[in-house]
Structure 1
Amino acid sequence: MKNTFLLLIIIFFCQNVYSQYYYTYSSTPDSANIYMNGVFKCQAPCKVKFNWKEAIDDKILIELKVDGYEVLKDSLIERPKRIPKIIKATLTPAIPKIEFDSNSVMVVFDRFISDVENNKIIGHKKSLKKDNEDIIWKSASIPDEETFAKKFYDYLQEAGIQNPFTENKKLFSDPDKNFKRRPRYVIGVRLIDIETNIYEIHKKYVVFGQNAVGITKMKLEWQVFDRSTGKVALKKLTEPIYKYRQGMYYFIATIMPTFELGISQLFHDPEFINMVSKSDDVSGLLINKDDSTKKSIVLDEITNPAFEDLSKMIQYANSSCVTIISGDGGHGSGVIINDKGYVLTAYHVVDGAQKIEVKFSNGMKLQAKLIAYDFPNDIAIIDITGEGYQALPINTTDGNNIGINVLTIGTPYELELGQSVAKGILSGKRKRDNNIFLQTDVAVSPGNSGGPLLNEKGEIIGIIQEKIAHKDVEGIGFAIPMDRAIEVLNIEIKQK
């Protein structure tokens, strides 16, 4: 009796150890290689047979591998039930994990453009009956630009590359971090070509109702525009190939996975990684030069007349405060700083503009060109055609006098509101990334960007940059102080 009982125990033990288990795998993308404890088993879709004696330290490590994708890992840490299991696995494109510091350049995605002609035949659906059906490219049916942008930002975040969504979103958690850095690199992508073919498969190979296999190929041209130089800094061609298994239907579902693989290829490019991992230390660049050597900008010292009251000062300063209209229809403000027509403004007001117009208080408009700028500090100088302009003097010391009365003259919101005056006080100074900014309660709006922050003598103590608004706060404006502006633009003021 004891021997019989012992024999039953041995048989039961052997059945558990040597029992066959069956896992059926399907993968996206198709044809993932399946490994168990490092031993290749098969290529998905397939049925994996194994038994518990293959376990190492009471564990079986399962890995699915496809070139260009993250390895998908799973572990069995206890003996499974003897019930066949069906698993549909989805792998994600491999994205490098790179440690960037907080001063690394910031990147934004601009747009996805398709060069593929509408109604072009880009492939075929081939059935088992040998019937072929053309696959037609329909521009209207592809995902919208926002979908492409969201996916690109997801991968930027995963790679650790600085982008607007890595900025601090809590406005009042830390006053020194309320300033948002401006992106240096703008990335766009052009779909040069696309090809896709879908093949119906025999029913005995169908898994999860996926009765077709296919391949989608893209040619994507990536362009990286450097806003600090105004030039395309990098062009790269990626050619992602996405293998899939799905129902015998239109290929539209394969566009985003193929695009994602193209992002992965770009992010693995050494030139691209080297570019976006640099510190954002570009400053004092002059355009229309063959090099980035900073040139001195010499201004003659000027003084304002004595004013009877504030109203007289505003009337006088009004002639020196201008509206700047960029070619894309946007506008900002600026202030004339010498009789030759040099105008100080915020760089983002004229960034990328093919045409710049300056509108005066009397309605006159003149052409201008960008001659110097400092990208990190968002400050620029444009040059108006002609000479003999009334300018306002620069004051580099009053930025230290917290509590003084200040005002700005600019164009908030609409062009029709040009030469609007807003008053307040200089309420503080804030430090960020070793830069000091003037804080004011002057009511500023987006169109005021680039306008002067003036003291009661009509002297320029800062250039308006941005505003913070909150339901519990009327509004806080910030300006770059003039001592910083003349330093980064390499301005010299020649004494009389």
Structure 2
Amino acid sequence: MPSCATIISTPKQTVHIVGQPAGSTYYANDKKLKSKPLNNGTAGAVSVRLPRKKKSELLIKHAGYKDYSETLYPTKRNAVAYLNWIPIVGALGQLAVGVSNGDDTNFLGTGLLLGVGGVLIDNSTGASKRLNKEEIRPNMLALPTALAGGQTIQCGLMNVRIKGGDKMGNLIIENDPEEILYFGKSLDIDAEHLKANINSTLKELGYNVPGTEGQSVFSTGSSSRYTLQGEMRDVKYDIYASSKYEALARFETRCNVEITWKLLNQNRQTVLEQKTAGTSVKFVKGGNAAFEDAFENSLYAFLNNPAVAPALAKPATATAALESKPALISIHRNKQPTSATDNGITLAARSVVIMETANGHGSGCIISPDGYIVTNAHVVGDEQQIQVHLSDGLKAQGKVVRVNPEMDLALVKIEVDGLTAFQLPVASLADIGADVFAIGTPADKELGQTVTKGIISGRRKIEGHSFLQTDVSINGGNSGGALVNRSGQLLGIVNAKLIGRGIEGIGFAIPAEQVTDALQLKFTE
């Protein structure tokens, strides 16, 4: 029985694939495979033939599903190959009892030739090997279905709540843990990189993602109607090696992540929140591939939530679009206070506060005595809580209650009463060439309520929005502060300036009379 494994088992091994969608396409080492349906009662189950001699990188594709890949190795021995040893053992047995005549010599030679020849042939064809798996159960994730012409969506924030040095997992060699793996050393991920990957993935899936984040000198907020946020607190990351000798080892890197996703509308209201897990196995030694695949799988799991599609669907009619506007926020309006000793600028300065965030600081304008404050959307960014420093030194925790990114405006509420507040005008009070004063916190928090003087240089219509142009001195930290006249009346909310060689004294403010409608406010006396 020469070359028993080659004859009986053949150089290829049958591998069953169970659990994938029916009609999938199969590849091994980039070559398309023929598949044969299995009559085991499982829809889509097939068998494929893979070479025994070398590793096979199996790839499964199906329209509407994420590709699945797995590597199979020829690590086991094919039992049929041991049949080659029968003539060898017989010949050696004959040799042990002694060779008495020519016939016995012929038997000995023939036995050794057949046996050794069979071993050599089986080894050369690979028939003596057996792949490490005879069945594969791929977990193929369905790709989210994007809505044609749906609402705009964009990732605005990705928080990684894992510190450098936190334990993630182990390097496991021959089933024994050998080394602890730490975040930042074995796996290095950047929140901004993840944010960019999310937006790229959304685009690839067909979601309506703006080409930019709407950032310009006039508006640094997102122009998307919906914002996606993610928070990752846990990563499990293990590397498995089959041998302590790297040149001989086969590696598997397994990763599991858990992420809490939030879908927010333009008013910072949470439309949908869900915690999803993503897992992945990559047949490589470490690296970011397994993590990025697991991260993407977690995102897919969230986007496959049946509540996502209705949220991103555009209103069917113009009436529905109007009804989608946020509810009005009622705010108390008091008359602008007067004093025999204080002039208007001094009173106005009391109504300007410092807005401290994780990334720095800006300014804000109190518009009601019970603690509502207007600032820029780019000042609050993606934060929900803001530290507010009042002019008298008091600090209060502010909650972001509404944001209009297109207008670069945000509304913050602090639980403090009896404040000196601006009165938002219902019509423009700004005259071209009139003296104006900017009040804010330029450069450093120690410079709170700084007052600078200039004039109204003009009115501008830019990118569909109206702005007041001024030559008043504006610096980083003035954003969200007040532009007032000599009487202390609020004219605008400072939001930008032009910077560059040869450019001086070109700043912009959002007209104060636009704030009420932009933030959907309703004033009560």
TM-score after normalising by structure 2 = 0.60
Structure 2 match to 1:33: 27
396, 404, 411: which is aligned to 1:380? 411
State the alpha-carbon separation in 2 of the partners of residues 274 and 235 from structure 1. Answer: 14
In structure 1, the residue matched to 2:173 is 125
Partner Cα distance (1:36, 1:265) in 2: 28
1:106 aligns with 2:154: yes
Deviation at 1:409, TM superposition (A): 0.6
How far does the alpha carbon of each residue in 1:301-340 deviate from its partner, in whole angstroms, 9 at most, with x for none?
4476899xxx9543443333333445x4843222333455
Say if 2:181 is the partner of 1:137. Answer: yes
Opposite residue 228 of structure 2, the aligned amino acid is Y
Alignment of 1:29-428 (within 5 A): 33-34=27-28, 39-40=34-35, 64-66=59-61, 69-70=66-67, 98=146, 104-114=152-162, 118=166, 122=170, 124-126=172-174, 132=176, 134-146=178-190, 149-160=192-203, 166-167=212-213, 179-181=220-222, 184-199=227-242, 211-214=249-252, 216-224=254-262, 226=264, 228-229=267-268, 233-244=272-283, 246=284, 250-252=285-287, 254-262=289-297, 265-266=300-301, 268-271=303-306, 274=309, 277=312, 293-302=327-336, 312-325=343-356, 328=358, 330-340=360-370, 342-347=372-377, 349=379, 352=383, 354=385, 356-360=387-391, 363-367=392-396, 369-370=398-399, 372-376=401-405, 377=407, 378-383=409-414, 385-387=416-418, 389-398=419-428, 401-422=431-452, 423-428=454-459
Classify 1:349/1:213 alpha carbon distance in 2 versus 1 (closer, same or farther; 3 Å): closer
**Cα distance change, pair 117–418 in 1 and its aligned pair in 2 (3 A):** closer
The letter for the 2-side match of 1:474 is: E
- Tell me how far 1:252 sits from its aligned partner: 4.1
Asked whether the 8 Å contact 1:337–1:393 carries over to 2, the reply is yes
Q: Distance in 2 between matches of 1:408 and 1:459?
A: 12
**Residue of 478, 494, 501 corresponding to 1:464:** 494
Q: Would you say the 8 A contact 1:373–1:381 is kept in 2?
A: yes
SS in 1 for 2:492: strand
**Superposition deviation, residue 105 in structure 1:** 3.3
Identity percentage of aligned residues = 19
Deviation track 1:225-247 (CA, whole Å, cap 9, x = no partner) reads: 64844659422322322241x4x
- CA separation in 1, counterparts of 2:53 and 2:434? 77
Correspondence for 2:460: 429
Contact kept, 8 Å, 2:355 with 2:386, in 1: the verdict is: no
Residues in 2 aligned to 1:476 and 1:340: alpha-carbon distance in whole angstroms: 34
Cα distance change on mapping 1:297 and 1:473 into 2, 3 Å: same
Give CA deviations for 1:379-419 in whole Å, capped at 9, x if unaligned.
Answer: 214346232x4444333332675554432111112012122
* 1-structure distance, mates of 2:185, 2:209: 29
Q: Note if contact 2:168-2:235 (Cα within 8 Å) is conserved in structure 1.
A: no
8 Å Cα contact 1:323/1:332 also seen in 2: yes
From 457, 464, 483, the equivalent of 1:453 is 483
Whether the 8 Å contact between 1:218 and 1:258 is mirrored in structure 2 is no
Q: Would you say the 8 A contact 1:105–1:279 is kept in 2?
A: no
User: Structure 1's 488 and 306: CA in aligned 2 closer, same or farther, altered over 3 A?
Assistant: farther
Q: Normalized against structure 1, the TM-score is what? A: 0.62
1:482-493 alignment, distance < 5 Å: 482-492=512-522
| Deviation of the 1:112 alpha carbon | 2.8
Question: CA shift at 1:448, angstroms?
Answer: 1.3
State the distance in 2 between where 1:200 and 1:443 align. 68
Deviation by residue 1:62-86 (Cα, 9 ceiling, x = unmatched):
x9535764599xxxxxxxxxxxxxx
Residues 479 and 236 (structure 1), Cα distance of their counterparts in 2 relative to 1, 3 Å cut = same
Distance 1:475 1:219, change over 3 A: same
The whole-number CA distance in structure 2 between the counterparts of 1:119 and 1:372 is 37
For residues 121-143 of structure 1, give each alpha carbon's deviation from its aligned partner in whole angstroms, at most 9, with x where no partner exists: 546222xxxx8453522224133
CA RMSD, 1 decimal:
5.0
Instruction: Please give the secondary structure, in 2, of the residue aligned with 1:408.
Output: strand
Q: Any idea what SS the aligned residue of 2:153 has?
A: coil
Deviation of the 1:453 alpha carbon? 1.7
Tell me if structure 2 keeps the 8 A contact 1:283–1:374: no
Larger C-alpha radius of gyration, 1 or 2?
2
Q: How many pairs were matched up?
A: 400
In structure 2, runs of 5+ residues without a counterpart are 1-24, 36-47, 70-140
- Structure 2 vs 1, CA of residues 282 and 481 (structure 1 numbering), >3 Å: closer, same or farther? farther
The alpha-carbon distance between structure 1 residues 121 and 187, as it changes in their structure 2 partners (threshold 3 A), is closer
CA distance in structure 2 between the partners assigned to 1:357 and 1:168 by the alignment:
27
* Residue aligned with 1:159, SS: helix
2:388 is matched by which residue type in structure 1?
E
Mean alpha-carbon deviation: is it higher for 349-358 or for 94-103? 94-103
2:480 aligns to what SS in structure 1?
coil
Once residues 261 and 215 of structure 1 are traced to their aligned partners in structure 2, the CA distance between those partners, rounded to angstroms, is 16
Secondary structure at the counterpart of residue 504 of structure 2: strand
Q: Which residue of structure 1 aligns with residue 116 of structure 2?
A: none
Residue type of the alignment partner of 1:236: K
Does structure 2 retain, via aligned residues, the 8 Å contact 1:157–1:166? no
User: Could you say if the C-alpha distance between residues 70 and 116 of structure 1 is closer, same or farther in structure 2, counting changes exceeding 3 Å?
Assistant: same
Shift of 1:107: 1.5
- Give deviations 1:436-479, integer Å, cap 9, x for gaps: 44444433233112211213432112222334433453364433
